Amino acid sequence: MSTSIQRVVILGAESTGKSTLAAALAIHYQTVWVPEYLREFVESRQRTPWTEEQLPIAITQRERETENEARAHRFLFCDTSPLMTAVYSEYYFGQADAELNALASRHDYAATIVTAPTTPWMPDGLQRESDAVRQQIHARLVRKLDDGSITYLLVNGDTQQRIAQVDAYLTQRKVT
C-alpha cells in the first residue's frame, strides 16, 4: 500500500448519496474512487446476496481499493467498506460471521465520512427497501462507529455542500 495515498471511506445507508459524493470528491481532488462492489454483484445476479456471500463481497471491495491505489492521486475515495457489509449482515441475517467482523474491524481509513439519511429516498431496484430501513441502518452504523471509537464526519446538504464539509474536515484533520 502506498503511503502517499490516503483512503477516505464514505459510509451510509441506502439512498444517502454515497456514490454521488465519492464520484464528486474524486473529480474535486482529481483522483479516482472505488465504486461499491455490492451494486455490481446485485446487478449481475439480479438478486440480493445471501449470508454466505457477505464475506466475499467485503473481500472484493477491499481488493478493489488496493487495485485502485496505483491510479489515485493523494486520496482514494472508497464508496463503502467491510464495516457497512457487517452492518447490513447484522440487520438482514441477525449477525455477521467472525471473518467478516474481523475484516470490518480493520477499519484503517485516513478519514471516515458518513452520509446523512436526509436526501430524498429513491427506490433503486433490488438494493433499496424503504426510508424506514434507511433510518434503521443509519442508526446501526452510527452506533457501530461509536462503539468502535471510529471518528467520522456526518455530512448533510446537497453534493456541493457535502464536498465543502469533507474538504474542511480533511484540511482540519491534516489528512494529506
Tell me the CATH class for 6-172.
alpha beta
Band of pLDDT at residue 1, cut at 50, 70 and 90: very low
- Could you tell me the CA-to-CA distances from 146 to 42, 72, 123 in Å, in that order? 29, 29, 29
pTM, to two decimals: 0.92
Domain parsing of the chain, residue ranges = 6-172
At residue 2, does pLDDT exceed 70? no
pLDDT computed for residue 46 by the predictor: 87
By the 10 Å C-beta count (0-12 exposed, 13-18 middle, 19+ buried), 85 is classed as buried
At residue 42, does pLDDT exceed 60? yes
- Percentage of the chain beyond pLDDT 90 is 81
In 3D space, the residue among 9, 19, 38, 1 whose CA is nearest the CA of residue 153 turns out to be 9
Placement of cell 445476479 in the chain: 45
pLDDT computed for residue 124 by the predictor: 67
Mean pLDDT along residues 59-81: 96
What is residue 120's DSSP assignment?
P
In 3D space, the residue among 113, 106, 110 whose CA is nearest the CA of residue 141 turns out to be 113
Mean pLDDT along residues 16-20: 94
Mean pLDDT along residues 135-155: 96
Grid coordinates representing 139 are 442508526
Mean pLDDT along residues 47-64: 95
Cα separation, 151 vs 61, in Å, equals: 21
HEC states along 84-113? HHHHHHHHHHCCCCHHHHHHHHCCCCCEEE
pLDDT computed for residue 94 by the predictor: 94
What is the average pLDDT value for the chain, to the nearest integer?
Answer: 92
Cα separation, 120 vs 131, in Å, equals: 9
73 vs 126 pLDDT, higher one: 73
pLDDT computed for residue 15 by the predictor: 87
pLDDT computed for residue 20 by the predictor: 96
Band of pLDDT at residue 174, cut at 50, 70 and 90: confident
Band of pLDDT at residue 120, cut at 50, 70 and 90: confident
